[in-house]
Structure 1
Amino acid sequence: MKFGQDFEATLARGEYPPEWVNSAISYKKLKKCIKRVQQELLSLGLDKDTLDALWKRVGSSDLGADQGTADGLLQYTVDDGEKVTFTPKLTIVIDPRDGSPMDAWLSPETRRILRRLARSSRAHIDHTVQRDDSPDEQRRPTGESGSENDKHQLELVEVPLTADSEFFQTLRHQLACLDDLQRSEYARLQAEINQLGSELRALRASKSKRSKKEVETWRKIFELYSDAEVFLSSHEADAGARDGAHAQKQLQTFTQSLSAQQKKAPFRLGDNANTALSRFLQINVNLVRLIKFQEINRTALNKIMKKFDKRTSLPAKSSVEQSLTKSSPFIVQDLAKATCFTISEEVLSVIPQLNDYLCPICFSISWRPVRLRCGHLFCIRCMIVMQQEENNHCPLCREAVVMEATEKNIDCEMVKFLLANFKVDVKEKQRQNEIAAGIDRWGAAYEHAQKDKCVVM
């Protein structure tokens, strides 16, 4: 199936709202514009083969090499300096004495058309370039020689491209519609995320036992969500933003994990919390859909520009990429990164996650956290072990700061924070630390005694 048909079928499946479909790249309309551009160029004697040969000749010509692309024998540019209109320009060097195009090898019909065009455009000549070894100099009869006074100026005349202008105006309008759509959808997502964040802050601020249980439930939900890495991957093999298909797959993994957790230990959420959870899931669904819509339109733009270049032999793709797309947020903005940052700041950070407070050595909660002079933080048990082994180097930065640490290095504010947010985990870590301290004092028998629930006097 050709891309155009596949693109139309994707838009027609009903996955995207009607207003999104109406704002999408009109691939079929732009293809019709390309046909009109081909017909217009053909009427000027500049069919695809002729233009291909012209570009090849320009690429190897002395003037093109000496004067650069701006003053070569043939130029094609897409000017959008005012960010309002696109004006495609095709300019050709002519001999001002008779209006003939300087490429003498062109067919007689093409030369007649361009000569007539040049003569009618004399009042609108943009600028001139100097050339000593023009084709006319080379075509002088034997015995005639040029002198310094015979050297003449070469004129650049613009070839009007009406259909070309239509193509780029249509494309600019469609990208503007996509930009407007993205702004409105992104604003809607932001509003939903902010509202959810406000509800979670209110829940966390509540002192009721029910609210505390709901906070713990949200902590489990966000832990599953972080593990799924729906939009951004931290794995070395595929680090960075995920594409739409992969993000959709990871979102399904998250919802499946959520369902499995519900069966294992049902979440105890009130009506408001259930509504908030539904909103959180819908935010993610909408973001995946917007990313996929962005991707198919980016592909459509890339395909249509390649088709334009191939069928017309006018190198528009590079010009458009340098000007048009740079000013289009829909084309250049990474929605996944931007929205994930907002979700993290406004929602996930409201409910602290245990993974953010693990000791880098034992990977359990950093209970009675010791902050070394270098700034790194570890649980007190791991610091005691390192001091017993006389290991003075910080495991993270290798600075010699471990042996100098005392109880004064315990971060008291962090102790309060951990107690307030991770009471169950703190209690378990305290139990483990007591067992480890008993083993240090009485040996391995102490651990067995604890398992047998014996009391060692």
Structure 2
Amino acid sequence: MKFGKQLETEAEGIPSEWRPYLIQYKALKKLITKVAEEIESRGLSTSLLHECLEEDGGLSTVNDEEDESIPKIKYYFTAATAADDDASANDKGADQHDETTLDDHEQHQQEERILIKSPAVKRQRRSSTVTLVKELLTLTLEEKDRIKDAEEKEDQETKEVQEKHEKHIKTLVVELEQDDEFFKMLMEELQQAAMLQDVTTQKFQHDISDLETRMTKVAAPTQKTDMYNWRKIFSIYMDAQIFQGNAESDRTFRSVERAKKQMTWFVEQLGKSNLLNKLKSKESKSAFEQFVALNTELITMKHYQMLNQTAMRKILKKHDKRSGLTASQSFPEIVSTDALFSPKLAKMLYSTITTKLTTIIPQPEDYACPVCMSVAWRPIRLACSHVFCVRCLIKAQKKKMDSCPLCRHPTAVRSATALNLDEGLQNFLKLYFPQEIKEKKRENEREQAIEDVQAMTGKKYTEEQLMRMSQNRSDSKCNIM
């Protein structure tokens, strides 16, 4: 399938209001035909230009140092301000040259005055008139030689300027009007695309801020909110890795096709877990729809950016092929498209989503004890600032452990007491993780009961026996006769 047809097909996947801002590939392709015809009408040919222009910027294939008399072809862009800048630069250079010449002349006169008045040229009175005449003749001859050297130097500089002027006159400039129309249209297309991207980015950031405000209300840590449902939704969302990998071995940013595939997987997982039907309030359901819409819009922005980037690359390549010129190398050097086609924009917007939205509801993994991997209930903050649950810390002290398991601080575990309890973190965990704390308390009570039984019976139970005892305990029912 030709790219023009492919572009029309893929354009159906972006919003209709964005389509006019895509690069008009077919219209630019028609202008390329006119450019080729104009070059032929000027007595040039595509094959000739291909042979004479190098691919690294349009320089001649002939080495300038070998023979400057051989004609060369150069392809370059000009702008309205370029001629003015060159003219001002030439005027400035001429002024500097005149000023330098005047300074040299004044310096020469000053040297003459210094030479005449210098003590080195003062002579003691001679008793002989012949000696005085010889000295005057010597000074006169030296002055004539100095003037002659200066005149020869001036003639040489004048000759070099004339040669440069003659070379400049021999330059033949061929202006391509249709080529100018081609790049004028391409520039306008890029400017419109940049304007749309700026407007869409501002709207996207505003929508994220609006959703953040809504999420703060619908997922507040109260009994009537959907905090736990939203926590599961965000957990599946992070596992989907729609835009960027989370694993240490894969931090790459996803392509458009991969992002669409992962987005589909995310929606399917939500359907399997029936989380959407578990949302209690209409506000939560509306916020979820906006959340999905923002992610879909970000994928669409990536797709739109990719289409424009591909269209520009292909149209410049076709321009070079049909005309024999080297615009694909010269044009990007003049017009910077980094801000328009850079993946940094999508990364920034995705970072905004993860920073503002997913952090509204804290995940239990972020507050887990590094030993038992459950919520660090009764959090004990050691001298090294690492946090452990009180149960794991007591076990470590019973085993005579002194150093921190994470950073190996020599006395962090041994010196920990009840004063190391982080009450602020404890209140935070109680607010956002009530179910996890309840489960943690039951687990602590079970372990304490087993330790008490072992202390009374003197028998140690294996892990398999403890699991069987726990299963029997959960299946047993208390009957009051």
Query: What range describes the TM-score normalised by the shorter chain of this pair?
Result: 0.7 to 0.9
Match of 2:39 in 1: 41
Partner of 1:453 in structure 2?
A: 473
1:409 and 2:420 aligned: yes
Report what 1:444 is aligned to: 461
**Which residue number corresponds to residue 377 of structure 2?**
367
Alignment of 1:128-147 (within 5 A): none
CA contact under 8 A between 2:229 and 2:279: conserved in structure 1? yes
Q: Does 1:187 align with 2:198?
A: no
- The normalised TM-score by structure 1 is 0.73
The secondary structure found in structure 1 opposite 2:74 is strand
User: For the Cα contact (< 8 Å) 2:31–2:178, is it kept in 1?
Assistant: yes
Q: 2:242, 2:359 → 1: CA distance?
A: 17
1:318 aligns with 2:329: yes
What is the CA-CA distance between 1:226 and the residue it aligns to? 1.5
- The one-letter code matched in structure 2 to 1:310 is K
Q: For the residues of structure 1 that align with 2:440 and 2:194, how far apart are their CA atoms?
A: 52
Pairwise CA distance, 1:250: 0.9
In 2 relative to 1, CA 21–347 (structure 1 residues): closer, same or farther, beyond 3 Å?
same
Letter in 2 for 1:37: V
Instruction: For 1:231, give the aligned amino acid.
Output: F
1:423-444 Cα offsets, whole Å, 9 max, x none, are 1111212222333444555242
Give the direction of change, closer, same or farther, for the CA distance of 1:375–1:16 in structure 2 (3 Å limit): same
Q: Is the 8 A contact 1:241 1:336 kept in 2?
A: no
Distance 2:281 2:409 in 1: 50
Summarize the Cα distance change of 1:315–1:346 in structure 2 as closer, same or farther, 3 Å threshold: same
How far residue 316 of structure 1 moved from its aligned partner, in angstroms, is: 2.0
Q: Is the contact made by 2:231 and 2:363 (CA closer than 8 Å) also made in structure 1?
A: yes
Aligned residues of 1:232 and 1:239 also touching (Cα < 8 A): yes
Contact 1:58 1:64 in 2 (8 A): no
* Deviation of the 1:305 alpha carbon: 1.9
Shift of the alpha carbon at 1:236? Answer: 4.7
Aligned to 1:52: 50
| SS state at 1:158 partner | coil
Match of 2:346, as an amino acid? A
**Corresponding position: 1:239 with 2:280:** no
**Aligned-partner residue type, residue 203 of structure 1:** V
TM-aligned CA distance change 1:171 to 1:63, over 3 Å: farther
Aligned pairs (5 A) from 1:254-293:
254-262=266-274, 266-293=277-304
Whether 2:436 is the aligned partner of 1:425: answer yes
Alpha-carbon distance in 2 for matches of 1:21, 1:366: 52
What is the distance in 1 between the residues matched to 2:404 and 2:332? 49
- CA–CA distance in structure 2, aligned partners of residues 397 and 274 of structure 1: 44
**1:45–1:206 distance in 2 versus 1, CA, 3 Å:** same
The answer to whether the Cα contact below 8 Å between 2:60 and 2:74 also exists between their aligned partners in 1 is no
- For residues 397-447 of structure 1, give each alpha carbon's deviation from its aligned partner in whole angstroms, at most 9, with x where no partner exists: 444344433333332211111110011111212222333444555242793
Check 1:410–1:306 CA distance in 2 against 1; reply closer, same or farther (3 A cut): farther
8 Å contact kept, 2:218–2:283: no
Query: How far did residue 60 of structure 1 move?
Result: 4.6
Question: Does structure 1 residue 220 correspond to structure 2 residue 235?
Answer: no
Q: CA deviation at 1:23?
A: 0.8
Summarize the alignment of residues 277-356 of structure 1 with structure 2, pairs less than 5 Å apart.
277-326=288-337, 329-356=339-366
- Consecutive unaligned residues of structure 2, counting only runs of 5 or more, are 84-89, 94-155, 455-459, 477-481
Q: 2:221·2:227 contact (CA, 8 Å) conserved in 1?
A: no
The alignment status of 1:172 with 2:187, answered yes or no, reads yes
Q: Which amino acid aligns with 2:246?
A: S
- SS at structure 2 position matched to 1:17: coil
Q: Which has the higher contact order (CA 8 A, sep 6+)?
A: 2
Residue identity over aligned pairs, in percent, reads 31
| Structure 1 spans left out of the alignment, 5+ residues | 67-71, 88-123, 128-147
Deviation of 1:373 after TM superposition, in Å, equals 3.2
Q: Aligned residue for 1:61?
A: 63
- Residue of structure 1 aligned with 2:163, choices 145, 152, 155: 152
Is 1:230 aligned to 2:242, yes or no? yes
TM-score, normalization: structure 2?
Answer: 0.70
1:259 Cα shift? 0.8
Q: Is the 8 A contact 2:221 2:431 kept in 1?
A: no
**CA-CA distance at 1:387 after TM superposition:** 4.2
**Structure 1 residues 188-207: aligned runs within 5 Å:** 188-205=203-220, 207=222
Give the alignment's Cα RMSD to 1 decimal. Answer: 3.6
Q: Secondary structure at the match of 1:378?
A: strand
Question: Could you report, residue by residue, the CA deviation over 1:159-195 in whole angstroms, capped at 9, with x for unpaired residues?
Answer: 3122222121111111111112222222332232222
Secondary structure of 1:367's aligned partner: coil
Higher strand share: 1
CA distances 1:104-150 after superposition (whole Å, capped 9, x unpaired): xxxxxxxxxxxxxxxxxxxx9xx9xxxxxxxxxxxxxxxxxxxx869
Quick check: 2:378–2:389 contact (8 Å CA) kept in 1?
yes
| Whole-Å separation in 2 of the counterparts to 1:250 and 1:421 | 29
Task: Identify if the C-alpha distance between structure 1 residues 46 and 359 changes in structure 2 by more than 3 Å, giving closer, same or farther.
Answer: farther
CA distance in 2, matches of 1:40, 1:162: 8
